[in-house]
Amino acid sequence: MKKAIIILSVLFTINLSAQDKQWTLRACVDYALENNISVKQSELDLKTSEINKKDAIGNFLPSFNASASNSWSIGLSQDPVTFSAVTATTKNLAGSISSNLNLYDGLRNINQLYRSNLAILASKYQLDNMKDDISLFVANSFLQILFNKEQLKTLQTQIEVSKQELDRTKELVEAGSLPKGDVLEIQATVATQEQQIVNAENAIIISKIQLAQTLLIEDYENFDIIDIDYNVPLTRILNESPSLIIAKAKETRNQIKLAETNTKIAEVDLKVAKGALQPTLAVSYSFSSNYFTSGLFDTPDFETQMTDNKSHNIGLRLSIPIFNKFSLGNEVKRKKVSLERSRNQLEQASLDLETKVYQAYNDTKGALKAYEAANKTLDAREEAFNYSKERYNVGLLNAFDYSQSLNRYEVAQSEVIRTKYDYIFKIKVLEFYFGIPITDIN
């Protein structure tokens, strides 16, 4: 009984520890990359490419096979040793080994090995590119949760101020200094803020569920991220020219490397197709022997027959393609089309990357201006609200106008939070194109 209690206590402690875990951005990204199904599929594609390379290496080696057969014949048959006809129940045991080796095949084996190495490289680029996309998605989801949390904190602070103002207004109404309508106006403001808090709490829950689903975590209720108040990062990325960022992106981004590798693969595929138009030369060797026995005649023992009946066969086979129903020529044409398509895709990938970098650069500059403007607006709204509050406290401003001033101040606070996290994410996207990891966000 005591042992069972100890075990249950340990399990309970472990469960609480798991529930209390708060995820950092790096932990979220690492976990997503380890457990994401698409990443796992790409990892399997990489394993398949590595297996295909082993096939390409094997093409340089000779084949080696062995065979054996045992047959019985009832009635008329031919003695394989004397070649005389016999009528009896006979038994024939035969065995052979053979080997074949391609001496020349239009360099297809060499090109296929080269292609297999390129295919492995392409699979790695594809995997890394997928990891980059997932990292960006996770970072965006992570920052969305932080934005929602900070928004909630702001709303909670605002409602506390409003409640204090409501209590003070009630006292002034009871003293006859303010009309009763002012209390109703402040109560409406508090009710609106309570509704905003409910919406903000729901937004946090939904954003956490979305990130948990991305990480394939089913315990939505206990999933949470670490509460970090990220400051706007100091960055010099906007001091760099878009052309320099584009050049850096072309060096580091995997979609360009992938498109370049796929173009090289298409070039090798064309060489392989052209190699099929050339003659092939192969050498072969085989060794065989057999054992024959009949109930009518005395037959030599097994070792004697196997020694006497052995034979060796060595051959060279030259194959020259002359006409293959246009299949070989059409295959070359298809590979030329594929090569042209790959070159177009490489050019398009380069243009797409340039567009994305320019877009990210302008988005970041716009987000910075929006954030700076939001801060200026907040300063002005805060000053205006403080002035309205002073006038309201001395009875020079009615509750409705005071509530309007408070609402504009609250909207300005929310806008600062929104533009702050929008700017942070856009900075990270632009830095990402420059080769800076997305997780370096502090």
pLDDT given for residue 11 in this prediction: 37
**What is the rounded distance in angstroms from the CA atom of residue 439 to the CA atom of residue 139?**
8
Residue 312 near residue 285, CB atoms below 8 Å: yes
pLDDT given for residue 7 in this prediction: 37
Question: How many beta carbons lie within 10 A of that of residue 145, not counting itself?
Answer: 23
Phi, psi of 204 (to 5 degrees): -65, -45
Helix (H, G, I), strand (E, B) or coil at 326: coil
pLDDT given for residue 270 in this prediction: 95
Q: Which residues pair with 88 in a beta bridge?
A: 75
Handedness of CA 367, 369, 372, 378 (dihedral sign): negative
Interior angle at CA 216, CA 51 and CA 20, nearest 5 = 130
Q: Mean pLDDT in each 10-residue stretch from start to end of the chain (442 residues)? A: 40 42 88 89 93 92 91 75 73 89 90 94 93 90 91 89 85 80 87 93 94 89 84 83 92 90 95 92 91 64 80 91 88 95 94 93 94 95 91 83 88 91 90 81 54
Residue 38 near residue 126, CB atoms below 8 Å: no
pLDDT given for residue 86 in this prediction: 72
59-92 per-residue burial string, b: 16 or more CB within 10 A, e: under 16: eeeeeeeeeeeeeeeeeebebeeeeeebeeebeb
Domains of the chain: 21-61+105-145+225-278+321-433 (1.20.1600.10)
pLDDT given for residue 120 in this prediction: 95
187: buried, middle or exposed (CB in 10 Å: 19+, 13-18, 0-12)?
middle
315: buried, middle or exposed (CB in 10 Å: 19+, 13-18, 0-12)?
exposed
pLDDT given for residue 204 in this prediction: 94
385-410 per-residue burial string, b: 16 or more CB within 10 A, e: under 16: beebbeebeeeebbbeebbbbbbbbb
